[in-house]
Structure 1
């Protein structure tokens, strides 16, 4: 396992805590939660840059790409979850790791797609589907088309293309992710002011939001950027299917829920896909 793989896994582990924190903060509107979390997360750039705000500065196209990724992804996902059955919308959104694998040759020069990468990505998505649908606790899937599915698909496209796109723009320090998070946080708060009511927050809420910002809505983005700068995006995309699995495990541990057979099956498919993909020769 490479250093980039370890950095990606660290980001995935932090993202896995998002569901558990979200349960504790379920009374806080999602855009407000995202805006505050991203603003807290942006402060991680200060020690990374030695306190120099100059390290946050990037060309306008690079900043636009960062805001497109962090703000666009969350806004589209929350809109999808509000307008479509959340179980299916979440599943559609988890096409983004598959998108990273499939789109890499189209976006990154010198990267080729082999049958092993596609097969491994499909296996990983199948595992994620088993885990996500298993979290429905017997809830029936709702049939028919919902416009929210298109929003969820767009959110998946945004995150996969943002992740790959960071390899196409001029090189920038990982500390500059702080500017992506800060601008995205402000935009999320503006969207909250238009779309959501503002509740009163307690001290406990504030501490949990700080943890959210330092972890899944902050630290994870810096680790993700560092991983993408150093590693193969196809391998990193395959590892990303671990996110719904680990998220389910964290929720089960924190709430005392029993694990179902679907989690074990999903784990086998996800890990099997990751192993298969890692053994596929890359270019």
Structure 2
């Protein structure tokens, strides 16, 4: 039964949709410093759960390839994402980086026991079109005004998260509790990068501190745990297409908080994204409730 794990994985997408507004509310803290704090908070979520059942700490006894995958996904994605935004226009870099849902849907055909149907591809392409409308809204020029380094980092960013999500499926027997260990090591690496590359800046207000805490509890914390469960036990193709809802919901939240206005482009993007998600999920929708 994949329906419930798929819904669990979808909650990660809902949390990621709050990433932009929480980041905007967190002040001017440098990205690696922010990542270090968020990953530390995220690790506490898993550690707290494991303290209630100490035997769950055995989940941290994993082979080196599992730890390498975790660092590749969590830390590697954020390192490349921040590098992309520092070296290329945010809209264009974001568009390239957000190719990962499409790569998940297409790449899922390579997984054992999975079958890629025409509706998965069509749904992914509809979602990509809707995402492009959102991310390119108000963009000037094209891709020519930015740095090649930034665009390359954004492309690697998409490959990193899609690769991490697909490979996590191959380690389906690995307990989700190991995510706490991934967060701890990612926090340590983020501290190292911060010390080497950034100047420390602390939040000025309690509101900014609450935003940082919200990031660690949600988009850069709990989201990793539920996403891990979703991609291992749920329908990874549907999750890949549903991931296109993140930039849509993020944009709507920003509009709600006064950072933009609703437009025809946003409405069309909504139709493309939701329509693509329903198309990709048509197999689940047709299954009887007893499945």
The TM-score with structure 1 as length reference comes to 0.92
Q: Is the counterpart of residue 182 in structure 1 residue 184 in structure 2?
A: yes
Which stretch shifts more, 273-282 or 125-134? 273-282
Q: Which runs of 5+ in 2 are unaligned?
A: 287-291
Q: Does 1:208 align with 2:211?
A: yes
Match of 2:194 in 1: 192
Q: Contact 1:97–1:241 at 8 Å: present in 2 too?
A: yes
SS in 1 for 2:8: helix
Aligned-pair distance for 1:68? 0.4
Deviations 1:162-216 (A, max 9, x none): 0111111261211111111111111112111111111133462333222110010
How many residue pairs match? The answer is: 279
Q: Which blocks of at least 5 consecutive residues in structure 1 are unaligned? A: none
CA deviations on 1:60-87 (whole Å, 9 max, x unpaired) are 2111101100000000011011111111
Report the counterpart of residue 161 of structure 1 in structure 2.
163
Query: 1:167 is paired with a residue of what secondary structure?
Result: helix
2:220 to 194, 198, 217: 217
The answer to whether residue 43 in structure 2 is matched with residue 42 in structure 1 is yes
Alpha-carbon distance, 1:258 to partner: 2.2
Match of 1:95 among 91, 99, 107: 99
Moved over 4 A (4+): none
Q: Secondary structure, in 3 states, of the residue corresponding to 1:43?
A: helix
Query: CA shift at 1:251, angstroms?
Result: 1.2
Q: Provide the rounded CA distance (Å) in 2 between the counterparts of 1:221 and 1:95.
A: 19
Alignment CA distance shift 1:217-1:77 (3 Å): same
Partners of 1:10 and 1:212 lie apart in 2 by 15
Give the distance between the partners of 1:264 and 1:111, measured in 2 at CA.
33
Match of 1:12 in 2: 13
CA distance in 1, matches of 2:27, 2:134: 21
Q: Distance in 2 between matches of 1:153 and 1:248?
A: 22
Counterpart-to-counterpart distance in 2, 1:172 and 1:68: 16
1:105–1:113 CA contact under 8 A, matched in 2 = yes
Alpha-carbon shift at residue 97 of structure 1 (Å): 0.2
The equivalent residue for 1:3 is: 4
Matched, 1:117 2:138: no
Counterpart Cα distance in 1 of 2:12 and 2:46: 16
| 1:31-90 Cα shifts (integer Å, max 9, x gaps) | 111111011111111233225333333222111101100000000011011111111000
Q: Tell me if the contact between 1:100 and 1:237 (Cα under 8 Å) persists in the aligned partners.
A: yes
C-alpha distance in 1, partners of 2:158/2:25?
Answer: 25
Q: Which segment is superposed worse, 39-48 or 213-222?
A: 39-48
Alpha-carbon distance, 1:143 to partner: 2.3
Please provide the CA RMSD for this pair: 2.0
Q: Post-superposition shift, 1:7?
A: 1.1
Q: What's the TM-score, normalizing by structure 2?
A: 0.90
Matched, 1:276 2:251: no
Match of 1:229 in 2: 232
* Alpha-carbon distance in structure 2 between the residues aligned to 1:221 and 1:190: 22
